[in-house]
Structure 1
Amino acid sequence: MSQQINLFNPIFLKQKKIFTAVPMAEALGAIVLGTLLMTWYASHNVAQLEQRAASGKTLLAERERRLQDANRQFAPRQKSAALATGLAQAQAELAALRRVEEFIKQGTLGNSAGYAAYFRAFARQNVTGLWLTGVTITGAGTGIGLQGRALQPTLIPQYIGRLKTEPVMQGKTFASLDIGRPDVAAAPVISPTSSTAGQPVSAQPATSITAAPYVQFSLQSTGVQAK
């Protein structure tokens, strides 16, 4: 009868050492070195961030200072009472002028072209030997008065007939015509006066009244609208 005897004992196996002093020291050194590197990196980033924050704070303070300076320089001014009053008056005058303009455009005043057309008509229809000394126009040409002088009375109807050919005088008739020859004072004539004994003879001017070499006329019209 045979019997097997197991002489193997695990104690006699060579044990593998996993953690020895040297590897542990190396690992610890690597950990310390990594920690130092991370600390330095974090410190470096923090320093950069603090520098940027300081720069931003300085820039912000400068912008705030500029803003305050601008607010002081361009501060809103208080409204001037005089300017407000003047503006209100100007607006009132402008509104009044616009109302007048609308009033004129509606034709309530009649002819809104002015009196220039009348004076041009009077100047165009001139007659030799006749001249005007005064012109009166009332309203929008509803009443016209002419005063003048003429060397001959016959020139006056000729002038009136020529005026009626003007477009601006269409529809207007003359209601009255006064013609007269005024008296004028002639040049003084010096005549001697009688003297008493022993007194010198003196001369006194004598004034004579004669008729003027022209006639005066006054022509008045009535405003009759042309049909």
Structure 2
Amino acid sequence: MSQQINLFNPIFLKQRKIFAALPMVEALGVIVAGALLLTWYAGQRVAAQEQEAEAGKTVLAKREQSLVRAKAQFAPRAQSPALAAELNAAQAELKSLQDVAAVLQGGTLGNTAGYAEYFRAFSRQNVNGLWLTGLTITGAGNDIGVQGRAMQPTLIPHYIARLTAEKVMRGKTFAALDIARPEAGAAPQVAAAAGVASTAPVVAVAPAVSPFVEFNLQSTMMQEAAK
């Protein structure tokens, strides 16, 4: 009877040394070279940043110097009492002028534009056969009185209509109108011949009627005006 005996044992094989001296030295060299390269790169970056910082400090110093010069050149000046007094006086005068302008625009003083436009309006309204003998304007033009004569009474309403159409007369009304035909006066008596007494009786002649009528136009009633 035969029996086979296996004398192979893996532990008896030659083992390969992975971490030998030479590979470790090479790896260590690579690590050292990488560290040196990183150190050089970091030094270059630090040097560049230091240069930028120095340049920034130089620019900042120049700007601070410019700011100091500007403050010295444009230093706030002390307020002048005389200038302050003139400013206060000018402001007070401006306020007074503004108050006056407000009063004038408010119309509390009445007519501030004068009466020239009223007279222009009356001069523009010429009606044949009608003429004015008197004109009164009181205050702000609220009280107006017109006196005149006309050859025909019918001319007066026509004249009033044209007059009230004027811009300056808009909104104004007349409250009273009087129209009358005056007497022309008595005819003179027959005079005696010079140096001779007349024995003929004197004949009285009736007064003649005037060929025109007189009118009185008032913006307020006469009774109210009298008050």
Short-chain TM bin: 0.3 to 0.5
**TM-score calculated relative to the size of structure 1:** 0.47
**TM-score calculated relative to the size of structure 2:** 0.47
